[in-house]
Structure 1
Amino acid sequence: MSVSVHFLPNNVTVEAQVGEGLLSVAERAGITIPTGCLMGSCHACEVEVTELGDRCCCISSVPPGHSQLTINLFSDPTW
């Protein structure tokens, strides 16, 4: 199943598959999301998914049951 993923504030939308990692989706969209530990501990890659709440991209994937997701990128000045 295809899911439309919209990245803000970049205003970029790409199609993704259920189960595809959020970091991979962002990379295909030309979006850079900072990473640290790649295990979800440091929260460097945390984004706000409007439909789901805050998620660490390194350990999150496109969930089933949604036709679209909106990902709000925010910047942590400590990274």
Structure 2
Amino acid sequence: MSKQVLIHWPHGKSTACTAGCDWLAAARDAGFSIPTGCLGGSCGACEIDVNGTTIRACIATVPPSKSGQLNVELATDPYW
């Protein structure tokens, strides 16, 4: 049975979704736009930081969380 995860988005909104949900769909449902480019994981346009770990939203899913919560920030690349 998949658990609900509370996601805190950069724009101040919090939403819940089921662990295993697609990150892009979770963001869309929250009214938050994650930039995308290739949709295959190679360009890095969709990188977000989830609890301090950078992931590529186009190829990742919302993980389960022991605390039941995840904090999302936009990733920053100092070389871009």
- TM > 0.5 between the two? yes
Q: Which runs of 4+ in 1 moved over 2 A?
A: none
User: Which residue matches 1:2?
Assistant: 4
Gaps of 5+ in 1: none
Instruction: Answer yes or no: is 1:46 the counterpart of 2:14.
Output: no
Gaps of 5+ in 2: none
In 2, Cα distance between the equivalents of 1:43 and 1:74? 10
Aligned ranges for residues 1-79 of structure 1 at < 5 Å?
A: 1-8=3-10, 10-50=11-51, 53-66=53-66, 67-74=68-75
What is the percentage of aligned positions where both structures have the same residue? 39
- Count of residues in correspondence between the two structures: 74
How many angstroms does 1:50 deviate by?
1.4
SS where residue 59 of structure 1 aligns?
A: coil
In 2, Cα distance between the equivalents of 1:16 and 1:74? 21
Is contact 1:7–1:73 with CA below 8 Å preserved after alignment?
Answer: no
The root-mean-square deviation of aligned C-alpha atoms, in Å, is 1.6
**Which shifted more, 26-35 or 63-72?**
63-72
What letter corresponds to residue 43 of structure 2 in structure 1?
A: C
Larger-Rg structure: 2
